Amino acid sequence: MSQRTAVVTGASAGIGAATATRLAAEGFHVVLGARRLDRCQEIADKIGGTALQLDVTDEASVEAFAASVPVAHVLVNNAGGARGLATVQDAVEDDWRWMWEANVLGTLRVTKAFLPKLIESGDGHVVTVTSVAAFEAYDNGSGYTSAKHAQAALHRTLRGEHLGQPVRFTEIAPGMVETDFSVNRFGGDTERAEAVYRGLQPLVADDVADTIAWAVTRPSHVNIDQIIMKPRAQASATRAHREG
């Protein structure tokens, strides 16, 4: 059997990089897409994958990316993230615009571009990394929680729209994962980012990659619809047990 291809967006760091690495170990040829091509290339060199520039907020970039990948079996919609923490009253429109572009429209664009190829493969799979923020609305997080709710609604809709076709859909909804997520959310403020994970053991990117790899390596007739995963010390987006 020829090697299966997995496409991972946001693959230059964090969950995306870990997932690319893990799927290569599972035997996939991995196509890594992200804005930072040099970072993707470094990982691709290590795992025998292919690095391509991808900005999911840019339709032309998504089109060019998809045109370079003629065959795909697995798509991992991982690109996205948060910008800022502000009340609705103080919401920064540009932050909202970026979060909706990256998480919602980015997932829409990339999924539209790859679905025909995934179905054509005869055994396709779309994994979308949402968040506990796709289930909960929390104070100061409305830009992100609303984007994640919308991204999840988009993803969950696909499941019904493609019933009967050879493609599976899995939503992975992580809670606290220590990656660049919080550093990016706080515009590079590492101290503020570190405080998010202080006093507890957060998930790491490999934990999520491990779960994604498990979902995509189930037999073709098994669809893992949703997995919500959090550190043991985290009960919800706003409730965690911290030591010290």
Q: How many residues bind ligand 8X3 (CB under 6 A)?
A: 6
Task: Work out whether 175 is an interface residue with ligand 8X3 (CB under 6 A).
Answer: yes
- The binding track of 202-241 with respect to ligand 8X3, each residue x by CB under 6 A or -, is -----------------------------------x----
Q: Is 42 left (phi over 0), alpha (psi -120 to 50) or beta?
A: alpha
Residue 138 annotated as catalytic: no
Residue number with CB closer to ligand 8X3 (5 or 151)? 151
CB nearer to ligand 8X3: give 71 or 137: 137
Q: Taking CB under 6 A as the rule, does residue 77 contact ligand 8X3?
A: no
Residue nearest to ligand 8X3 (CB): 131
Active-site entry in 100, 144, 169, 197: 144
Q: If DSSP states are collapsed to H, E and C, what string results for the chain?
A: CCCCEEEEECCCCHHHHHHHHHHHHCCCEEEEEECCHHHHHHHHHHHCCEEEECCCCCHHHHHHHHHCCCCCCEEEECCCCCCCCCCCCCCCHHHHHHHHHHHHHHHHHHHHHHHHHHHHCCCEEEEEECCHHHCCCCCCCHHHHHHHHHHHHHHHHHHHHCCCCCEEEEEEEECCECCCHHHHHCCCCHHHHHHHCCCCCCECHHHHHHHHHHHHCCCCCCCCCEEEECCCCEEECCEECCCC
The verdict on 33 binding ligand 8X3 (CB under 6 A) reads no
* Shorter beta-carbon distance to ligand 8X3: residue 131 or 142: 131
Site for ligand 8X3 in 124-163 (CB under 6 A): 131-133
Residue 170 CB, nearest approach to ligand 8X3 (Å): 17
Does 13 help bind ligand 8X3 (rule: CB under 6 A)?
no
Q: Is 80 in the site for ligand 8X3 (CB under 6 A)?
A: no
Name the residues that contact ligand 8X3, by CB under 6 A: 131-133, 175, 181, 237
Catalytic residues: 144
